[in-house]
Structure 1
């Protein structure tokens, strides 16, 4: 149930100048390297917590339409479209307003709107149910401070250990994983 990014984040949760100050780098020689570490750390943190940090549009595919669909990412800002592909390859979008996002729950759920039901046939092909949604906290400044701090520490760790000679099992520093622990999306 992998998420497919439709529209990537417009910015990173932490900016290059903050990272350069933290790791005590002057000049622009290391900018590309540090920007790569910022993106890698963000991707790693998002995979570890199953949370999107900065807003993006994603889509995931299911085989069926149960009465209550757990959404595999957090936080979910909105469900933008739900569509079903039939056995002939025809994709039909469900009318807007035919679903309800239970975004106050973690993880969030998608259910039929009050008084409505999902189509009984669902999809007869693998991955034929597509749910497009906007996920993430919003802009970079909307990301919780402890997540931004974890990212900053992780980028510094990657920069200081860029040769990759870490002992087995030392993939993420303990302080970083401790900051991330309360944000892990369990299902």
Structure 2
């Protein structure tokens, strides 16, 4: 499998509190089970949609660079997947952190970012050399090219009410303006979900103050919020699907289910789909 997960999400898009509210469970007895079902449902959603929901780091391993091509992109077409493009089939890509390859001497080389362009707005994400450049020639050996990237709709953050800052551990920050969201609690006051914010200042790498308008004053935080705070937002349709799937898994704890008065026993089709993330495809 050319795509390899390097580091998975540190939080889930649906919190245990939200899942229990959906299930109408108010005792802690099944907390571990429900937490595991959230992970299973999230992985299934990511596999079906070919997306990363919460920020994750991935590696694409190739035997060689694609191409080359002498014509660049086809003329007159508004959108193409050109033959010399590297395609990252895991959305939503936030940043390509490195492209490296084995040169003809067997030495690992890192391609200068100025020599390639990354289209983060398209799905799937496309990477090509900039105009006037071509891909370097790697050693003719399997696994000679690697592309490291991060993908996800949202990244968790920590708030510091004393200094009014927001800290993010991930390698990327969303294009401004950006929105904030929360799972299982409330955002730090006075921040609001589904509201555009901008970076007011960069205190240190990964530590920021926020503004309500471009180049506006820094927002004063009065608390650190509760639950899981996120920069970015996982679509509500996906979050709703996860909660419904958790409900199905929680209700039917076997792969077969008996239905109403007929006593008919039917297999639950989504059970085998839980193996999809682990299926090797040739």
Equivalent residue, structure 2, for 1:27: 27
Question: Following TM superposition, by how much is the alpha carbon of 1:87 offset from its aligned partner in structure 2, in angstroms?
Answer: 6.2
Equivalent residue, structure 2, for 1:38: 38
> What is the alpha-carbon distance in structure 2 between the residues aligned to residue 50 and residue 144 of structure 1?
14
Residue deviations 1:127-180, cap 9 Å, x none? 2110000111123731111011111111111111112225346217xxxxxxxx
> What is the alpha-carbon distance in structure 1 between the residues aligned to residue 112 and residue 88 of structure 2?
19
Give the TM-score taking structure 2 as reference length: 0.57
Residue segments in structure 1 that go unaligned for 5+ positions in a row: 173-187
Structure 1 ranges of 4+ moved more than 6 A: none
The one of 141, 158, 161 aligned to 2:249: 158
Larger Rg: 2
The one of 111, 114, 131 aligned to 2:128: 111
Question: Following TM superposition, by how much is the alpha carbon of 1:72 offset from its aligned partner in structure 2, in angstroms?
Answer: 1.3
Equivalent residue, structure 2, for 1:132: 148
Aligned residues: 171
Q: Which has the higher strand share?
A: 2
> What is the alpha-carbon distance in structure 2 between the residues aligned to residue 39 and residue 61 of structure 1?
26
> What is the alpha-carbon distance in structure 2 between the residues aligned to residue 104 and residue 16 of structure 1?
32
Equivalent residue, structure 2, for 1:83: 100
Q: Is the 8 A contact 1:75 1:137 kept in 2?
A: yes
Greater RCO (Cα-Cα under 8 Å, separation 6 or more): 1
Residue segments in structure 2 that go unaligned for 5+ positions in a row: 67-83, 157-180, 182-232, 258-265, 272-282
SS in 1 for 2:20: helix
Question: Following TM superposition, by how much is the alpha carbon of 1:21 offset from its aligned partner in structure 2, in angstroms?
Answer: 0.6
Equivalent residue, structure 2, for 1:57: 57
Q: Is the 8 A contact 2:57 2:151 kept in 1?
A: yes
> What is the alpha-carbon distance in structure 2 between the residues aligned to residue 123 and residue 148 of structure 1?
44
Q: Which has the higher helix share?
A: 1
Residues 111 and 41 (structure 1), Cα distance of their counterparts in 2 relative to 1, 3 Å cut: same
Q: Is the 8 A contact 1:61 1:127 kept in 2?
A: yes
